[in-house]
Structure 1
């Protein structure tokens, strides 16, 4: 297992694709000095098509290294709970992209939220300086692991066990806040903990990451989507609806459809157009969509994780039959959102942004003040002093 060679190959792959940001040239050197294998446990996890199976450094060193350095787009799963990933080392390309979005400078005070194994905090400390980064992690075992690895790397980072939705580290406001897990709504405490003009970079609803800038009066934070990627969900939030066929069947049950109509639309873009699926996720955030193809075309099964469902069945002639049931007509909601996306000239994810105030949070398109907007749902707990 030649880790030096693997690091170099991944560095070159990122360089070839333009993933090393010119604006944050320090990142390439920081990743070279503090590679992700220094913060990886000796057991990683790989999906084998049926379940997550362990990949141990001692018994399978090449497989272990492949999990870390196979691609700049691949996360390395470091913890599995109940058969599902509960922590990971984020993909190197995503980590670099988020830290670039943070616009971190020497001397900045940084709050690293959801510290995991400590790699994000290490890279931030390399830039901000000794004693400038505080990392919080809700899992005591992960926090202890990160603390040990950061100390071994000679970095002065304070690592605390805390729930970042209810607890803010003391010591004054932060210049930068960066989170490593997805939230639907930003805890207002994160905004209160950031100085006016400071930035908050966080994953939004497992869609991508957003960079908010706190207003001069501290009563508003707003900014655009910066990058795409999926992240672990907030452990303190509600359990996401079950995806796939199992989730759909659990909501639909065995009852008949309540409505049926023809939809004059080919569903193929649902499986191939990321701009469309992003827009649908913004407009109908609780819709869980599963697609599958047969001889007649692309079909889709949709549910909201609670009481409403829809199935789109291709007819083979470019049209689709829509059956629906439950408390709402979630299929109609998706078709309306699709038509609105086309009416907005098919925007891509980078045209969207988020605004957070004490009273409300909403997504917007192209203009935070005058553009179309959608309320953000879900709970955002305030923090105690």
Structure 2
């Protein structure tokens, strides 16, 4: 966000410091773009800990869901206390007013819940955390500051019906679909703000307005990248699980660079995720002996029926080798989506939205200046 915070939120941020919601050990990324993180212990490196606590960066407070690693498994992040500027921007998007009742999904360290409790009063805030250890720690930190929202250890996808309806529902973990319980527990005229994820990329927020007839309409807005709700994570941990030994792919070439569609441009990747639902990617930059590529982009579908690869050989940057297998030609689909997006002038992420029908069907919407252009149903 830019500019000063409005008075009530400024007071909340001043009275509820993020540092009070961090454990003595936080984690930092070792290499940009890679999952592995290293611990920073306050007792061993107090200056490093303080720098993380007071910087405008996310602070990872848990890795690997809190369990011991499997052999060779990196320390991938599973919970964090978010970047202050992103927290402020999201809370402003939530548009709370005095007396509003708020349900937060994903307590984490408890800082967001503390800010909401300071702004609205603890009696008006319920926060749900799937990890009971994190929930207990957050409750202790909130109590120590005299902030007492209701902290629930449970599945955030189910909301918390005991205190419904809520004027606002705030997600702090990204979702690939809006849980039905959130719609059912929203008050008339309410608002849902949640980070969004697609199989392709995690980026931005959905701002959704539920209606009394069970439908909802929302829009996507620019934002950060949040960890996925546990039930919305990919079930594939090794790309080798996608390819069968008997697969014989078709081969061809392409002039579309794999880095254009999956090379780190968050905006482009976010749009590709919206227009290519259910397609996932993975980069392999360590081919091993006998492989004739320097970098390989993998693409596969959630149903595990089809896959494709695009290879860079370390020399040729104008033409890339493509392999495709299965009933769908996934790289052809990607190329068609890229061609549409670029020919349409690369419309921004916030030109897309989400519609929810009474039967629960959720549909990605792209708005042309003169009205809806096309719709893509998400899988139920």
In the alignment, which residue of structure 1 is the partner of 2:165? 173
For residues 218 and 26 of structure 1, do their structure 2 counterparts lie closer, same or farther at Cα, with a shift above 3 Å needed? Answer: farther
| Residue of structure 1 aligned with 2:8, choices 11, 21, 26 | 26
Q: Does the aligned pair in 1 maintain the 2:116–2:125 contact within 8 Å? A: yes
> Does residue 282 in structure 1 map to residue 274 in structure 2?
yes
Which residue is equivalent to 2:93?
101
Per the alignment, residue 13 of structure 1 pairs with none
2:372 matched residue in structure 1? 370
Scaled by the length of structure 2, the TM-score of the pair is 0.83
- Residue 301 (structure 1) aligns with: 298
TM-score (norm 1): 0.82
CA displacement at 1:280 relative to structure 2: 1.2
- The whole-number CA distance in structure 2 between the counterparts of 1:325 and 1:342 is 26
2:260 corresponding residue in structure 1: 269
Return closer, same or farther for 1:350/1:375 CA change in 2, 3 Å cut-off. same
Q: Which residue, out of 228, 234, 256, partners 1:233?
A: 228
- Supply the distance in 1 between the matched residues of 2:365 and 2:78 (Cα, whole angstroms): 30
**Distance across 2 between alignment mates of 1:357 and 1:66:** 47
Q: How does 1:1-385 map to 2 (within 5 A)?
A: 19-20=2-3, 24-49=6-31, 51-70=36-55, 72=56, 74-81=57-64, 82=69, 83-205=75-197, 206-215=202-211, 217-242=212-237, 247-252=238-243, 257-270=248-261, 271=263, 273-290=265-282, 300-304=297-301, 306-313=304-311, 316=316, 318-359=318-359, 360-366=361-367, 370-377=372-379
Distance 2:338 2:176 in 1: 21
Aligned partners of 1:191 and 1:218 also within 8 Å: no
SS in 1 for 2:363: strand
Q: Which moved more, 1:185-194 or 1:311-320?
A: 311-320
User: 1:15 maps to what in 2?
Assistant: none
Q: Deviations over 1:125-174 (max 9, x none)?
A: 22222411111112111111111111111113111122122352413411
Deviation at 1:265, TM superposition (A): 3.1
C-alpha distance in 2, partners of 1:274/1:53?
24
Provide the alpha-carbon RMSD of the alignment.
2.9
Q: Residues 102 and 169 of structure 2 are in contact (CA less than 8 Å); yes or no, is this contact kept in structure 1?
A: yes
Deviations 1:206-243 (A, max 9, x none): 2221111122x24222221122222121123454434x
Provide the rounded CA distance (Å) in 2 between the counterparts of 1:276 and 1:139: 33
- Secondary structure of the structure 2 residue equivalent to 1:105: coil
* Cα distance in structure 1, aligned partners of 2:317 and 2:122: 65
Cα gap change, 1:318 to 1:239, in 2 (>3 Å): closer
Cα deviation, 1:342-372, whole Å, max 9, x if unaligned, reads 2433111121112223420111122697232
Residue 249 of structure 1, CA deviation: 4.1
CA distance in 1 between counterparts of 2:79 and 2:358 reads 30
Using the TM superposition, give the Cα deviation of residue 190 of structure 1 relative to its aligned residue in structure 2, in angstroms: 0.3
Q: Tell me the secondary structure at the aligned position of residue 158 of structure 2.
A: coil
How big is the shift at 1:301? 3.1
Deviates more, 1:205-214 or 1:307-316: 307-316
Query: What is the CA–CA distance in structure 1 between the aligned matches of 2:14 and 2:183, rounded to whole Å?
Result: 32
Query: Shift of residue 69 of structure 1?
Result: 2.9
Q: Name stretches of at least 5 consecutive residues in structure 1 with no aligned partner.
A: 1-17, 379-385
Q: Is the 8 Å Cα contact of residues 44 and 54 (structure 1) preserved in structure 2? A: yes
Higher relative contact order (Cα pairs below 8 Å, separated by 6+ residues): 1
Shift in Å, 1:115: 1.2
Structure 2 unaligned segments of length 5 or more: list them. 70-74, 286-292
